[in-house]
Structure 1
Amino acid sequence: MSSQRLIKLPRVLLKLHGADTNVFLQGLITNDVTKLQSQNGLAAFLLNTKGRIVEDVLLWRRGTDDVFLECSKRNQDVLVKEIVKYRLRKRVEISETSDQVFFEQNPSDKHEHRDPRFAGFGARIFGNPPSSEISENREAYENLRRSTGIAEGADELADLLPFQANGDLLNMVSLDKGCYIGQELTARTAHTGVIRRRILPFECEGQVKIGADILDEKKNKVGKVISSDTTRCLGILQLSSFKSSKLTADEVSLTAKQPEWMPDKILANNKTRTSLTDS
């Protein structure tokens, strides 16, 4: 009896091929594509011209010169449309692969495709493995993701700023690469702005609706739920409310948690600045 170690994800894998692929991506996403010369995976955002998130992506090397781009299946068409819009005359071909995307929670230390956002968040497997190894229990992945504090997909991330989505803490934003779409606001926020809200995980005492307002003990709106199950949820929260004595959403009690990957100073200095560029 084989263990079902792989969880099938609602993600797709696109292949970018052509002489201008790396240059094109370098001017398009928030992270430094040249890092793929020394590592197999890279996490990033695609932004609009206002510096707001269109989609989160994972880029992968798989033993060829091609770059494989993983994104949410639900927002695939929107993402491809954005990519094509900026391609112009660059020599880049985009195609969808037949490979499915799977999550492995406990990969070996030498696994080639460990999650580039947070090393403790498993790895990806691509292809069409034996059915005996596949679990359809996607909710197990979603629960783990909520517990870890990692948001995914346009449903959770669209229109947020990269730092509100913790892009600076999850290795998704380079602050010293060249220009890219939405770079001006991102750079200004990193060096001179105040980041007052971030996505955080919460323990909840019941199911809450996605989009529900998060209220503090004075019934002030301090955040919004973006993903939820019966025990865990993700929400964007005003950091000054992290230690509020009472947080609720849909009259369900919430407890904000500090993710393992979030430095203490992000929550300690929330009334001034909370960027990694702070000393």
Structure 2
Amino acid sequence: MAEHPRYAPLASRALIGLEGADWRDFLHNLITQDVESLTPGDIRFGALLNPQGRLLYDLFVVGREGGCWLDVAASERTAIIQRLTLYKLRAKVTIAADPTPVSALFPGAGAAPAEPGWFADPRLPALGWRGYGATAPTDAALADEAAYDACRLSLGVPGPADWGVEKTYPIEANFDLLAGIDFKKGCFVGQETTSRMKRRGTVKTRFLPLAFEGEPPSPGAEVLAGDLRAGQVLSTGEGLAMASLRLDRIEGAELTVEGRPVRVIRPDWFETAVG
């Protein structure tokens, strides 16, 4: 029997609207995702990087008639608008905050919602749907954003609290495995470093969840494989934490955090992509 969906307003997310004759070319040349083929009703996951290839901001691009929405972290919306404006130069594009609310319908079981404004999450089907000005289906239970984050963490999908700003390469945060980077498109900011990491095919560090018992470890706590440093805790939840881990040091190792044993979880989607 399918689990009833849960509906959660996402106050941590906000929208930026892009319109104008040049909006598509402008955005396509900046972010990790293909925008040239985006059509109204499409949604794609991507990121804006710094020139050195580190993650600045994650985003979802939502195709609309005559433009798009960018679904971004609400706390960073003003900074993102300012950065996009710096890149604008003479491009014919308007960039402005949009008040339309963002929500989530999860987990991704059952049929797609019939109500308008819902888009399948492009990262992982199990994450469900993202809503933009969308109403909750009648069979959905109201939930809070913490419940949505717990669902996301249970699926092994990292979030903005894990990668921060200008600290992480997108491949380390699994953007390449979660449809967040189009390696076939043309140039984007930070492409050289990103493409080089992909070509070499040896990524030493990846984000993966850890299972533990008892109180959650402190964010920033070291993950140890014996006496060797194997990574760092990033964010925590009930019984699970997201961590940045050295893949060459965790295989077959007994891991501890703050003196307690922890266990690495390799989600199915990760195993399928990485092996």
TM-score strictly above 0.5: yes
With over 3 angstroms needed to count, the CA separation of the structure-2 counterparts of 1:106 and 1:4, relative to structure 1, is closer
Distance 1:134 1:265 in 2: 33
2:214 aligned with 1:214, yes or no? no
CA deviation profile, 1:76-96 (whole Å, cap 9, x unmatched): 222222211111111111112
Partner of 2:27: 25
- Matched letter for residue 208 of structure 1: P
Contact 1:12/1:73 (<8 A) preserved: yes
Distance 1:5 1:147 in 2: 15
2:136 aligned with 1:152, yes or no? no
- Matched letter for residue 121 of structure 1: L
With over 3 angstroms needed to count, the CA separation of the structure-2 counterparts of 1:251 and 1:100, relative to structure 1, is farther
TM-fit CA distance, 1:134: 7.4
SS of corresponding position for 1:6: strand
TM-fit CA distance, 1:29: 0.4
Which of 38, 47, 66 is the equivalent residue of 1:36?
Answer: 38
- Matched letter for residue 124 of structure 2: F
- Superposition pairs for residues 179-258 of structure 1, below 5 Å? 179-192=187-200, 194-205=202-213, 206-216=215-225, 218-258=226-266
Contact 1:54/1:154 (<8 A) preserved: no
With over 3 angstroms needed to count, the CA separation of the structure-2 counterparts of 1:128 and 1:105, relative to structure 1, is closer
State, as a whole percentage, how many aligned pairs show the same letter.
Answer: 28
- Matched letter for residue 156 of structure 1: W
With over 3 angstroms needed to count, the CA separation of the structure-2 counterparts of 1:90 and 1:171, relative to structure 1, is same
- Matched letter for residue 144 of structure 2: N
TM-fit CA distance, 1:239: 0.9
CA deviation profile, 1:135-165 (whole Å, cap 9, x unmatched): 3522111111111121222653432111111
TM-score (norm 1): 0.86
SS of corresponding position for 1:31: coil
With over 3 angstroms needed to count, the CA separation of the structure-2 counterparts of 1:252 and 1:143, relative to structure 1, is farther
TM-fit CA distance, 1:245: 3.4
TM-fit CA distance, 1:39: 6.1
Which of 259, 267, 270 is the equivalent residue of 1:259?
Answer: 267
TM-fit CA distance, 1:73: 1.1
SS of corresponding position for 1:184: helix
With over 3 angstroms needed to count, the CA separation of the structure-2 counterparts of 1:119 and 1:128, relative to structure 1, is closer
Distance 1:31 1:57 in 2: 10
CA deviation profile, 1:168-211 (whole Å, cap 9, x unmatched): 11111111111111011111111125210011112121311111
TM-fit CA distance, 1:265: 6.6
Distance 1:249 1:85 in 2: 42
With over 3 angstroms needed to count, the CA separation of the structure-2 counterparts of 1:202 and 1:247, relative to structure 1, is same
With over 3 angstroms needed to count, the CA separation of the structure-2 counterparts of 1:118 and 1:265, relative to structure 1, is closer
- Matched letter for residue 235 of structure 1: A
Q: Which runs of 5+ in 2 are unaligned?
A: none
Distance 2:34 2:262 in 1: 37
- Matched letter for residue 52 of structure 1: R
RMSD between superposed Cα atoms in Å:
2.4
Distance 1:134 1:57 in 2: 26
- Matched letter for residue 73 of structure 2: S
2:128 aligned with 1:119, yes or no? no
Distance 1:38 1:167 in 2: 23
Distance 2:96 2:202 in 1: 39
2:41 aligned with 1:50, yes or no? no
Contact 1:208/1:229 (<8 A) preserved: no
